[in-house]
Every structure is written in C-alpha cells, then in structure tokens.
C-alpha cells in the first residue's frame, strides 16, 4: 500500500472506550474489533496499541495489580484472536515489557506488534497513550488515536486542528485511571508529535485515517510544518 502520508509507519492506538463499553466491567465490543481488523489489514508497517477499557481500568481503579494484569491479558487475547483470524500477523507485547528495540525486532520479523496498557509489579500504571506518543516520536510518524468521539470538541464543535491544551475535557468514565482527552492532548503537544484523534466507531473511518483522509482533529505543535 502506498504511504500517502509520507510516514514510514502507521501507529494506531485503539482506545479502551472503543473496544469495550467502559461503563460495564469486562464488556468487549467484538463486532467493532473485527471490523477494525478488516480496516487496518491492508496497511504495513503497522503498530497497534490498545487501552484497558472496562477490563484493565476497572481492576486498576480498585487497586488490584494482579487482577489488572490478568484482565489486560484477557482483553489482549480477545483482540489478538480476532486480528489473527483476519489474516494479520500480530504478536503481543505487554506494556510492562515494552521497549523500542523489541518493537523494532517485531517489525524486522514482519510482525504487527500489539502493545497494551499495563501495570508493573510495583503497581505503576503504564499508559497506552504514553507508549503511542513515544513511538510516534521515535519513528517520526503520525499517531492515530481511534476513540468513541468524533474528535476534539471546542465550544461544542469538532475542531479541525488543535495546537493548544486549553480545551474541553471529554473524560467520562468513572474508572479511567489514565486521564481524559485534555491529558492526551497535553502529552501530544509536550512531545511535539503529530496526532489524529477521530471516531473509530464509524465504519470506514479507521481505513480513511490510515490512508490520510481529512477526518477528526489533527493535534500538532504550532511550529510543526509536516
């Protein structure tokens, strides 16, 4: 597939609110994940990161690190099975073992890394957003944040572009332990990467985003002239 965006890698973060129902513990949106797999399968090199949603966030909010690890592995396994069934050579990478070098080794083996938010043995939360931003910076590539909202809302409307952290906070879940939309945007701008925040629930949107179509909200530094 031609890289129309001019970036070497497609880095996509699947938000927990997209792949699960974050208000109902352990609810998995199987149909949405299967459709996502079909939309991303034509793109390579590809790096996938996913959040914890109603699996990891739920257990982490209760402070049980062991149950959090188990919940995240359970969610990752569900995603892995679907992506593999759709013909994608996925390989898991728990956030607590994440490193740039491991990702590069996966890519050298023509595998698609599936990295996920996690928790360490000491109880430190590892955010999938943080991993996605780090990868975007390392590979100088746009990061695609597929969420359950149309983009970044300013004054009740979706903004085409954002380069300031002073925006509405769209966090809505009572057990989201990694922060809301505002925190995500602040991290993107602090690291001066380019990111697209868009609605992955709408059929075709993930394919359009990866192809370089103008959807959602582009977040980038004011001096970013990519």
For residue 15, give the nearest of 69, 56, 64, 74 by alpha carbon.
56
Sorting pLDDT into bands at 50, 70 and 90, what band is 3? very low
CB 73 within 8 A of CB 81: no
Q: Which residue has the higher pLDDT, 171 or 57?
A: 57
DSSP letter assigned to residue 35: H
How many CA atoms does the CB half-sphere of 19 hold within 13 Å?
Answer: 29
pLDDT exceeds 90 at position 136: yes
CB 200 within 8 A of CB 146: yes
What is the β-pairing status of strands 153-154 and 157-158?
Answer: antiparallel
* pTM of the entire predicted model: 0.91
Q: Which helix (H) or strand (E) holds 147?
A: strand 143-147
Which are the contacts of 61, defined by CB distance < 8 A and separation ≥ 6?
174, 175, 177
The string of DSSP codes covering 76-92 is HHHHHHHHHHTT--EEE
Q: Which residues of 163-188 are buried (b: 16+ CB within 10 A; e: fewer)?
A: eeeebeebeebebbbbeebbbbbbbb
pLDDT tens, residue by residue, 71-127: 999 999 999 999 999 999 999 999 999 999 999 999 999 999 999 999 999 999 999
pLDDT tens, residue by residue, 18-34: 999 989 999 999 999 99
Three-class secondary structure of residue 184 per DSSP: helix
- Residue ranges and CATH numbers for the domains of the chain are 10-128+135-219 (3.40.1160.10)
């Amino acid at each position: 597939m031609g890289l129309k965006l001019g970036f070497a890698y497609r880095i996509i973060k699947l938000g927990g609110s997209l792949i699960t129902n974050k208000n109902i513990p352990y609810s998995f949106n199987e149909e949405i994940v299967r459709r996502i797999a079909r939309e991303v399968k034509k793109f390579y090199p590809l790096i996938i990161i996913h959040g914890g949603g109603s699996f990891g966030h739920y257990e982490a909010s209760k402070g049980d690190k062991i149950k959090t690890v188990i919940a995240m592995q359970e969610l990752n396994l569900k995603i892995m099975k679907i992506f593999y069934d759709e013909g994608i050579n996925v390989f898991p990478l728990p956030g607590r073992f994440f490193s740039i070098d491991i990702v590069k080794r996966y890519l050298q083996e023509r595998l698609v890394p599936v990295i996920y938010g996690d928790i360490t043995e000491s109880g430190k939360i590892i955010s999938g957003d943080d991993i996605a931003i780090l990868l975007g910076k390392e590979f100088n590539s746009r990061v695609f944040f597929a969420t359950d909202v149309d983009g970044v809302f300013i004054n009740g409307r979706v903004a085409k572009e954002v380069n300031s952290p002073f925006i509405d906070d769209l966090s809505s879940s009572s057990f989201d332990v990694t922060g809301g939309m505002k925190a995500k945007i602040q991290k993107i701008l602090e690291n001066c990467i380019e990111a697209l925040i868009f609605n992955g629930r709408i059929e075709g949107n993930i394919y359009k985003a990866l192809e370089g179509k103008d959807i959602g909200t582009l977040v980038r530094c004011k001096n970013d002239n990519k």
